[in-house]
Amino acid sequence: MLDLKFLRENPDVVKENIKKKFQDHKLPMVDEVIELDEQARKAQQEADALRANRKAISKQIGGLMAQGKKDEAEALKEQVNKDAARLEELEVLEKELGEKVKKIMMVIPNIIDPSVPIGKDDSCNVEIEKFGEPVVPDYEIPYHADIMEKFNGLDLDSARKVAGNGFYYLMGDIARLHSAIISYARDFMINRGFTYCVPPFMIRSDVVTGVMSFDEMDAMMYKIEGEDLYLIGTSEHSMIGKFIDTIVKEEELPYTLTSYSPCFRKEKGAHGIEERGVYRIHQFEKQEMIVVCKPEESKMWFDKLWQNTVDLFRSLDIPVRTLECCSGDLADLKVKSIDVEAWSPRQKKYFEVGSCSNLGDAQARRLKIRVNGKDGKYFAHTLNNTVVAPPRMLIAFLENNLREDGSVAIPKALQPYMGGMTEIK
């Protein structure tokens, strides 16, 4: 969420940013907020004047009563009662106007970084760099579900009977591989200095609206009926929520956390909750990383975060590339975002396996995450990035490590997590 003062003083900048995000329908909101804010400030000024006047009159009444001037005192009391009625009206008006302003401010997009490429949708995202040599073997790479089923490692039919499309049973060595990747990713991030955390898997509505836009919330979150609770779509939500309404000491920053969680997503409007596959699903597990830092350090941490994911995938011999998200592909709270994509030998192209985002102070402003610095209080910056998200990561792993004889090689880094296994037959 933008700083209201910034919008008030820089309406043209905010409007230009809206245009860059191809959300022209939101342009009138800028002027509407300015008008509502002006009304709210006028109401506040009048209310403040009435409160000050009431205090002064109260003293006069006491003096008049002491002098025996009861009639004059009663007249002033009548004025106090009238002012009290008006003050009550103004307080109601202030609250109504404040809520209207906040509601609009929640949907005006954050100011994007100047380096973000301008484009309408993900077709305009820009490749930055490739890591590792993409290989297409001279033997056929089957569809990932077929590979898993060959090892008796995937049961979609039973899952469909139990929960419907978008769910799965992982079995045997494939299930073990799934858990091994999560455990390896956990230790990989701990070795890079991040603190490991297992967070709540449900969060309240004030946290949901603090960490994401309304459009994202509607498309992603599962609501617990009869409770003010939502299942998390990623542990980033509860990890950033951990700092809600706090004032942290500047010298304690940055907070660098890596977390494990299951994730639940409606995938509303998504093409293809697949009947035969685990690429787009309602439930998966994930290792995440988040940073809460000083504003001047967020750019440095952004580059460190996406590099962590690249390094992890390369340690497992999986070629990847980084892709910068264009303005139209950025969620409203994001300042800048980079996707990490893994190579698919079967499809002969890259596909998304993680996303790194810098949200500036947008989440901190919504959640009131403040820093107590030497020059006063200010809002922290927050960042997040996917370490690894199987079973999607399993697709990249299996395709890139499948041998011609149908076995799957286990890279050296992962072997200790597989009980010393060097291959899956």
As averages over each run of 10 residues, the pLDDT of the chain (425 residues) reads 93 98 97 96 89 72 65 68 81 92 94 97 96 95 95 94 92 97 98 97 94 82 94 95 96 97 80 68 94 97 98 96 97 96 96 96 96 94 96 94 96 97 96
**pTM of the predicted structure, to 2 decimals:** 0.89
In-domain check, residue 113:
no
Neighbours of 81 (CB within 10 A): 10
251 shares a domain with 397: yes
315 shares its domain with 264: yes
Nearest to 212 by CA among 17, 382, 409, 22: 382
For residue 394, the model assigns a pLDDT of 94
- Looking at the structure, do residues 245 and 363 belong to the same domain, yes or no? yes
Q: Is residue 139 part of a domain?
A: yes
The pLDDT, as a whole number, for residue 391 is 85
Neighbour-count burial of 263, counting CB atoms closer than 10 A to its CB (0-12 exposed, 13-18 middle, 19+ buried)? buried
Q: Domain containing 214: what range?
A: 122-424
Domain boundary among 46, 72, 105: 105
Check whether residue 401 and residue 256 sit in a common domain: yes
Q: Are residues 83 and 143 in the same domain?
A: no
Asked if 173 and 153 touch (Cβ cutoff 8 Å), the reply is: yes
Q: Which two tokens stand for residue 335?
A: 């300042």
Predicted local confidence at residue 61, as pLDDT: 65
Is residue 258 assigned to a domain? yes
Identify the CATH number of the domain in which residue 146 sits: 3.30.930.10
Q: What is the pLDDT of residue 342?
A: 97
Task: Say if 116 falls within a structural domain.
Answer: no
pLDDT at 1: 83
* Domain limit, last residue, from 105, 135, 161: 105
Bridge partners (DSSP) of residue 291 are 256, 383
DSSP3 helix / strand / coil % (the chain, rounded to 5): 50, 20, 30
221 in a structural domain: yes
What CATH number does residue 24 fall under? 1.10.287.40
